[in-house]
Amino acid sequence: MPGVLLGEEFPNFEADTTSGRIKFHDFLGDSWGILFSHPKDFTPVCTTELARAAKLSDEFKKRGVKMIALSIDSVEDHNSWSKDVMAYANEADSPLPYPIIADDKRELSVLLGMLDPDERNKDGLPLTARCVFVIGPDKKLKLSILYPATTGRNFDEILRVIDSLQLTAQKKVATPVDWKPGEKVMVIPSLPDSEATTLFPNGVTTKEMPSGKKYLRYTKI
């Protein structure tokens, strides 16, 4: 089955982009990376998504995350559509702040399992789904999300997830439902209480549960 699983090394593919030819690992360098695909250039939902991603580019930069988009269109189409995207973002005089991969031969879309069988072009060929891959500085896949063509993504949620990924890569914590940066986090179940008290100087609080099991341990980072 094509695709990349969590924890696997992300393929070091070569591709043409709106910033020239790249080798993916060189493009990433030591940074985190986000690769997000969209079905087609010059389509409405995709335009709103890429404009939102452009508006948030400083937020990705702040987190040390290199951005790159992808669809099965050509570099020429991407360059032309980028102007529409930036006009939609009310920044018509600025270039799109991240490159777009031209996967017009669909090689990467097949390799990464990104095609949406329910959405096809006029020749009956499947379009790319709305995939998100977050890659760590070790080039391993840390997160993947797959939306169908008909549902636009929430880029605030993508930033929230990156905050969680970057925090949990450093500390022995996990982030609970609807967590936002600054809120309490949970001590991971595999960490013994004795180690948790030394690792978390802000203290660890445990919520009593009917089972009597003490697995809901919170701390503040």
Active site residues: 46, 138
Please, what's the b/e burial string for 135-148 (b: 16 or more CB within 10 A of its CB; e: otherwise)? bbeebebbbbbebe
Q: DSSP states of 137-197 as a string?
A: TTSBEEEEEEE-TTS---HHHHHHHHHHHHHHHHSSEE--TT--TTS-EEE-TTS-HHHHH
> Of 46 and 54, which has the nearer Cβ to ligand BEZ?
46
Q: Does 43 bind ligand BEZ (CB under 6 A)?
A: yes
Minimum gap (Å) between residue 48 Cβ and ligand BEZ: 8
Out of 22, 45, 56, 145, which residue is the one contacting ligand BEZ (CB under 6 A)? 45
> Of 42 and 215, which has the nearer Cβ to ligand BEZ?
42
Residues in region 61-120 near ligand BEZ by CB under 6 A: 119
Out of 72, 131, 149, 185, which residue is the one contacting ligand BEZ (CB under 6 A)? 149
Q: Does 39 bind ligand BEZ (CB under 6 A)?
A: yes
Q: Which stretch binds ligand BEZ (CB under 6 A): 37-45, 96-104, 107-115, 203-211?
A: 37-45
The DSSP output letter for 1 is -
Minimum gap (Å) between residue 39 Cβ and ligand BEZ: 4
Neighbours of 118 (CB within 10 A): 10
Q: Which stretch binds ligand BEZ (CB under 6 A): 40-48, 67-75, 192-200, 207-215?
A: 40-48
Q: Does 131 bind ligand BEZ (CB under 6 A)?
A: no
* Bridge partner residues of 69 (DSSP): 36, 100
Minimum gap (Å) between residue 60 Cβ and ligand BEZ: 21
| CB 159, CB 65: distance < 8 Å | no
Out of 25, 40, 61, 106, which residue is the one contacting ligand BEZ (CB under 6 A)? 40
* Bridge partner residues of 206 (DSSP): 217
Q: Does 146 bind ligand BEZ (CB under 6 A)?
A: no
> Of 35 and 51, which has the nearer Cβ to ligand BEZ?
51
| CB 12, CB 108: distance < 8 Å | no
d(CA 150, CA 198) in angstroms, rounded, equals: 48
Q: Among positive and negative, which fits the CA dihedral 37, 154, 177, 57?
A: positive
Contacts (Cβ under 8 Å, ≥6 apart) of 7: 140, 141
Q: Does 151 bind ligand BEZ (CB under 6 A)?
A: no
Residue numbers of the site for ligand BEZ (CB under 6 A)? 39-40, 43-46, 119, 127, 149-150
